[in-house]
Amino acid sequence: MLARALCLTAVWLSPAALLGLAPLLLADGTRGLGPPLALGGGAVLAAVLLAGPWARVPTDRGTLVDLGRRRWPSAALQPLAVATAGSAFLFVWAQLAALGELGRALGWPRPLPIGVAVIALALAAWRREAGAPAAAFGAALALMGLVVPLIAVLAATDPVWPRVWAEVASRPDLVFAADGPWVRDGHPVHGVGRELMLPVTEEQRVVLLGRGPVRVEAWEGGTSRQHIAAPVDLTLRPGDRLVVPDGFPVRFEAGRRIPGAPPSGIAWADLPERPYDQGRLVGLGVALAFGALGLAPGHALLPAGRAGDRAAVLAAALAIVGLAASLLWSLYAAWLVPEVYLGGVAGSEVYELPGAVAALGSVGPALRDLALLGLAAGGFTGALAALAGAARAAWPEHHGAALVLAFVVPAAVLAAAAPVGAWPVLIAAFGLAASAAAPAAVLAGWRERLSPRGVAMGASVGLVVFVGLTVGHLWQLAGLGGAAPESWVGFLAAWPSLTAMPLNALVAWTLSPGPRPSPRAPLSPGFADLQG
């Protein structure tokens, strides 16, 4: 039970989620609390609404398609199979992209950690008897890497997090510390792209220590370009923007404002409202909370049997603890290393925090490596769960080679080559699961008056609406036409599950009229106690 609970926790605390959630608190202040709460709520909903119905599924099966076939043995549920396979593929893609981001933080070429993960997943799919212990070990390591280094940071600094929050939220400005590495000797600047733009809000002198192309976009217009081959002193004025390659070392002046950081802690804690801010929080919250009900990796790991309820509740509790820990990681990063804002907040930089805490001494780098290793192990466990969910829905379980070729290899190519991070792909996986699978996951276990035709048609409608709106949103982002992203039409296209999921549920409910099953057409064994 514990091993299955740990693996299910790793799905909710996957590196794609943790690397995406970490920058939200740093960028949006109190508004960044919403997405972790939504994901934790999704884990609780999965434990409350799905663990009971999954107990009726034989112990060797555990996907939404399996649950449907258990209830309707002769039904055709291809739309659910497509939705399950699609969410599993996107989830694997997101985890491999997250591993690429972690490798980049360590200075490795992006394809290297992705290639290692592909080999590990292929071996686990080929030798299934070793896959389950490896997944459980990876899940335990992921939870350890998330919690143990954080406890060390709290013990070495200030364990009273409300006091830390108050201090960060009351800072008059965010400036470079005199004893920080960016001031003493200079330090490489990392961010979320190949080039990093550093907007300057006050005059300051910087020293460019790296080699490569650099440009300054002046506030009054015009651009100055220079190829740096030796250290160069440069004076920047308010409104200028310095653009350097990722990883370029720069030395800044002590006491000067950090480019890219909020103007003050007060502004960070209480950012002004922007158009559609509340709507974005609702769209993201619906995708995360209800996507957890339809996500293929979660289905594959929901414990079967009557004892499974306790394991699912334990997994939800551990997920809430882990999400709370992720918030503390971001809070203490804002307090101890506000330079994390340089070049845009990358989630991996947040989890390198122990290495920057001087009070930890020589233990700090080891704890940083434990945190990064835990994230990588969680990605392996989550991707393995996604493959299990896809296999049980689309292929016989013994076709490991076909599964790797159909899912892992294309996902690895996209993770290495596509110009998109892990977080947007993960949101797409949750959004697809919410749109096409979540209503069926709930209704199939809780509604007696439900027909397989209604479930299949509802999933089809959810799938078509989700894909159509997503394509329309990408069309808008490419500037090829359609409504503006800030319009209501653009907003609904950006968050397709807000439209697709209700339509799915409505169609499934409407096409399932009629009396309760009769003795001549009974429910399958184990489903006679469904809620009406």
pLDDT(376) > 90: yes
Q: Are 302 and 308 in contact (CB under 8 A)?
A: yes
Task: Please report which helix (H) or strand (E) contains residue 476, including its range.
Answer: helix 452-477
pLDDT(371) > 90: yes
269 contacts: CB under 8 Å, gap ≥ 6: 29, 30, 168, 169
Residue 81 identity (one-letter amino acid): A
Decide which of 74 and 154 is more confident: 154
* pLDDT confidence band for 404 (50 / 70 / 90): confident
Burial category of 175 from C-beta neighbours within 10 Å (exposed 0-12, middle 13-18, buried 19 and up): buried
Q: Are 454 and 492 in contact (CB under 8 A)?
A: no
* pLDDT confidence band for 421 (50 / 70 / 90): confident
Per-residue pLDDT, averaged over 69-84, amounts to 80
pLDDT(381) > 60: yes
Q: Are 228 and 254 in contact (CB under 8 A)?
A: no
Q: Can you give the pLDDT at residue 517?
A: 63
Per-residue pLDDT, averaged over 168-186, amounts to 84
Residue 498 identity (one-letter amino acid): L
Task: Cite the DSSP H helix spans in 46-77.
Answer: 51-54, 64-71
pLDDT(273) > 70: no
Per-residue pLDDT, averaged over 433-461, amounts to 88
Q: Can you give the pLDDT at residue 159?
A: 93
* pLDDT confidence band for 466 (50 / 70 / 90): very high
* pLDDT confidence band for 326 (50 / 70 / 90): very high
What CA–CA distance (Å, rounded) separates 85 from 56?
22
Q: Can you give the pLDDT at residue 60?
A: 54
Q: Which residues pair with 241 in a beta bridge?
A: 199, 217
pLDDT averaged over every residue in the chain: 83
DSSP-derived secondary structure letter, 516: P
Output the six-digit token pair for 129. 């008897």
SS3 state at 347: helix
Output the six-digit token pair for 452. 């397989």
Q: Can you give the pLDDT at residue 523?
A: 65
Q: Are 415 and 114 in contact (CB under 8 A)?
A: yes
Q: What is the pLDDT of residues 292-318, one digit of tens each?
A: 999 988 888 876 666 556 778 888 999
Per-residue pLDDT, averaged over 466-494, amounts to 72
What CA–CA distance (Å, rounded) separates 10 from 322?
10
Task: Cite the DSSP H helix spans in 106-216.
Answer: 111-126, 128-156, 161-169, 181-184
Q: Can you give the pLDDT at residue 182?
A: 84
Decide which of 315 and 521 is more confident: 315
pLDDT(271) > 80: no
pLDDT(324) > 90: yes
What CA–CA distance (Å, rounded) separates 64 from 84?
8
Size of the chain in residues: 532
Residue 159 identity (one-letter amino acid): P
SS3 state at 206: strand
pLDDT(41) > 70: yes
Per-residue pLDDT, averaged over 365-385, amounts to 92
Which of 29-33, 404-408, 488-492 has the weakest average pLDDT?
A: 488-492
Which of 198-207, 477-486, 509-518 has the weakest average pLDDT?
A: 477-486
Burial category of 27 from C-beta neighbours within 10 Å (exposed 0-12, middle 13-18, buried 19 and up): middle
Which of 134-148, 261-275, 422-436 has the weakest average pLDDT?
A: 261-275
For the stretch 450-453, contacts whose Cβ atoms lie closer than 8 Å and that sit 24 or more positions apart, written own/partner, are 450/508, 450/512, 451/511, 451/512, 451/514, 452/68, 452/71, 452/72, 452/75, 452/76, 452/77, 453/511, 453/512
Q: Can you give the pLDDT at residue 348?
A: 84
* pLDDT confidence band for 169 (50 / 70 / 90): confident
pLDDT(485) > 60: no
pLDDT(398) > 60: no
Q: Are 511 and 454 in contact (CB under 8 A)?
A: yes
Q: Are 329 and 164 in contact (CB under 8 A)?
A: no
* pLDDT confidence band for 61 (50 / 70 / 90): low
Per-residue pLDDT, averaged over 435-446, amounts to 88
Q: Can you give the pLDDT at residue 90?
A: 94
Q: How far is CA 105 from the centre of its chain?
A: 17
Q: What is the pLDDT of residues 105-144, one digit of tens each?
A: 777 888 899 999 988 888 887 766 656 788 888 899 999 9
Which of 315-319, 377-381, 449-453 has the weakest average pLDDT?
A: 449-453
Burial category of 366 from C-beta neighbours within 10 Å (exposed 0-12, middle 13-18, buried 19 and up): middle
